Chains A and B, each alone.
Chain A
Amino acid sequence: MKRVSTRLSQEFVKKLSGEKGEPAWMLEHRLRCLEIFERLPMPRFGPDLSELDLGDLTYYARPVQPASRWEDLPEEIRRTFQALGLPEAEQRALAGLGAQVDSEEVYRSLLAQLRAKGVIFTSMEQAVREFPWVRDYFMKIIPPEDNKFAALHGAVWSGGTFIWIPEGVEVEIPLQAYYRMQTEGVGQFEHTLIIAERGSSVHYIEGCSAPRYSRLSLHSGMVEIYAKEEAHVRFTTIQNWSKNVYNLNNKRAWAYAGASVDWVSGSLGSKVTMLYPTTVLLGKGARTENLSFTFAQEGMWLDTGARAIHRAPDTSSRLVSRSVVQGRAKSVFRGTVYVAPEAKGAKAHVECSTLLLSPEARAETIPVLHTENNDVELGHEATVGRVSQEKLFYLMSRGLDESQALSLIVNGFVSPILKEIPLEYAVELRRLLEMSFERATA
């Protein structure tokens, strides 16, 4: 099966599962998800998805054969990855790297010393085939009943990464995966499952991109993170999808006692994004931080957010977003905090700021803080504003031209998030911002 452009059906799902050599439980899971998908309505909030025709997608494509060396990949894809700097980053700054094109992984590596410590960093398919216990974790944090796209993902998922960090192992340099959508009209549904055992730590980075086509395509990944007692997981995503991509994701983490989960998200591309990374703070003293940067450009609707669910005492959350909106684009940030009755002593802070760069730019920030007990500290700040003429004038009065001044102001505005993003990406993000301003002020 190289490419399937078909209506979703039980037959398709069976064939997909069969070709992947999956155990019976996974096929059952897929079929159950398909049934739930057909039953559930489209999301009742957020962006307009009416142009997205789920009957007109390529649900599986494998344009490239996997290789164990970069040199063995086909010329075109090798050049793409080279332009993205992946082989170089692998040598210099990463402990492991996976690369996926459309539905299947094409490359994966892991440092030998991490393998020796028992770290598992494999494709999701391999984990499902080799480790029966994966069943106890797969889509247990986000069940298919949660929403229509979670169910769709469960039925047709393909590719993605499985990471298991043994107790007490600290992975000091990041692991990375890169997702590329190459085929026109394709759907990409990778599944990422991270299990960090007690006292372990890991930083995982995802990058995403696609060439531009006129046909719409869909990226609907799912990420589930288990941060066991005292574990620390940081998950960074930088997405620069082209403007024909619907990017509708599900990302959720469980943080056990004393654990921390940090989400760092940079959303720069796509036609429509719906992304609300969520941490459920299950154990006493668990913490989460959610840092989000969005840059909505002409014609885009970036609907993002962050959720923290406090279910244990002394848990804390900090949700921070910076959105920049340019041209006729829209940005929405939904910052949601829920504190359960048993979560005494919880602390939560939500801070969302939006900068509008054009008269047509639209933005909303929707903070929702709900608590079921009184022994909590909750704070929130939300601002939506335009570039201050006073700041612009001040910087220009020192000799910077308008586009330099604007770029400095916007970089300053997003700096609380950018400083948390790995350097290589931060440089790239700044460059993208500057290019856009040069266009805007030309």
Chain B
Amino acid sequence: MAIMAVQDLHVRVGDSLVLRGVDFQLSPGQIHALMGPNGSGKTTLALALAGHPAYEVVRGRATLDGYDLLSLPPHARARAGLFVAFQRPAEVEGVRLREFLRLACAERGKGFCEFQRAFPQALARLRMEEFADRELNVGFSGGEQKRGELLQLYLLQPRVAILDEPDSGVDVDSLKLIAEVIEEMAERGTAVLLITHYPRLLEYLPLAEVFVLLDGRIVERGGPELARAVGKEGFEVIRR
């Protein structure tokens, strides 16, 4: 039974219609991959579902556990259980990671005591102990930003996680760590949508389903073998 369902999603950014009818479903505890070349609309999908004001949904539906996500402001989507790990998270000067995540946890009903226990665990899991009192994403390297997003994911334990290229700019050791954390999240019941244009990360993960996005539509669906085929021959295999 799917926890998240997206139907016929059309999204406009500025003057251009980037998504032209996207359909998919995500199941709890399973890892789904969304692949597609640059410019195919992957990041647009992530930002539109998170509720970014510059991404206008012109048609379609998206539900999370029956809630109509698209009618909710971004914070209500998060509170309903959606988490999006961004490719380029905003740097927020003067706001410490600890202070920000304490607030975010409180909004999900996690009290101070629970936070005090879970925060050091999450830091240790992502090997980010020294980041606890750093300013949020400020001066983080590309790889550190990715781990920072996964740290938040790990701590907040959402029902649905959309991860936008958590592997870009990441070294091999971090890549393994990121794969482990994603798998652990799925084992704990999170429905994962992993967006990438690069299949390396996918080799480490048990994939339930693979979607290929081209020109704003999902044009191909399959199992892990589809990811392998794209890895070998590129998106040309689909275009043909």
Contact = CB atoms under 8 A, between A and B. Distances in A.
Interface stretch (A56-64, A122-130, A185-193, A400-408): A400-408
Interface in B117-150: 135-136
Interface in B67-107: 73-75, 77-79, 83-84, 86, 89-95, 99-100, 103-104, 107
A393 interface: yes
Interface residues of B, number: 31
B51 interface: yes
Given A412-B92, A412-B95, A413-B94, A395 B50 contact: no
B90 to A, nearest CB: 4
B199 to A, nearest CB: 27
Nearest to B78: A399
Nearest to A353: B93
Contact of B92 (A399, A401, A408): A408
A44 interface: no
B53 interface: yes
A396 B90 CA distance: 12
A398 B94 contact: no
Contact of B78 (A391, A396, A412): A396
B75 A401 contact: yes
A442 to B, nearest CB: 15
A287 to B, nearest CB: 24
A136 B188 CA distance: 76
Contact of B51 (A397, A401, A416): A397
B74 A393 contact: yes
Interface in A400-430: 400-402, 404-405, 408-409, 411-416
A391 B74 contact: no
A408 B103 contact: yes
A413 B90 contact: no
A270 to B, nearest CB: 25
Contacts of A415: 93-95
Contacts, number: 80
Contacts of B75: 396-402, 405
B116 to A, nearest CB: 19
Contacts of B103: 400, 404, 408
B92 A391 contact: yes
B152 A398 contact: yes
Which of A396, A399, A408 is most buried by chain B, counting CB atoms within 10 A of its CB? A399
Contacts of B108: 399
B78 A397 contact: yes
A414 B93 CA distance: 9
A291 B156 CA distance: 37
A399 B156 CA distance: 10
A159 to B, nearest CB: 37
Contacts of B200: none
A394 interface: yes
A393 B135 contact: no
Contacts of A91: none
A397 B92 CA distance: 14
A414 to B, nearest CB: 7
B52 interface: yes
Contacts of B100: 395, 398, 408
Contacts of B83: 398
A390 interface: yes
A402 B54 CA distance: 16
Q: Which residue among A395, A405, A416 has the maximum number of chain B CB atoms within 10 Å of its CB? A: A395
Contact of B53 (A389, A394, A401, A411): A389
A404 B73 CA distance: 14
Contacts of A411: 94-95
A247 to B, nearest CB: 27
A397 B83 CA distance: 7
Contacts of A416: 94
Given A396-B74, A400-B103, A404-B107, 15 more contacts: A390-B90, A393-B74, A395-B100, A396-B51, A396-B73, A397-B84, A398-B100, A399-B108, A400-B107, A402-B75, A412-B94, A412-B136, A413-B93, A413-B94, A415-B93
Interface of A: 388-391, 393-402, 404-405, 408-409, 411-416
30 contacts: A389-B53, A390-B90, A391-B91, A391-B92, A393-B52, A393-B74, A394-B86, A394-B90, A395-B90, A395-B100, A396-B51, A396-B75, A397-B86, A399-B104, A399-B107, A399-B108, A400-B103, A400-B107, A401-B73, A404-B103, A404-B107, A408-B95, A408-B99, A408-B100, A409-B95, A411-B94, A411-B95, A413-B94, A415-B93, A415-B94
Q: Which 9 interchain pairs have the tightest Cβ spacing?
A: A412-B94, A415-B94, A394-B90, A412-B95, A399-B78, A396-B74, A399-B107, A398-B104, A396-B75
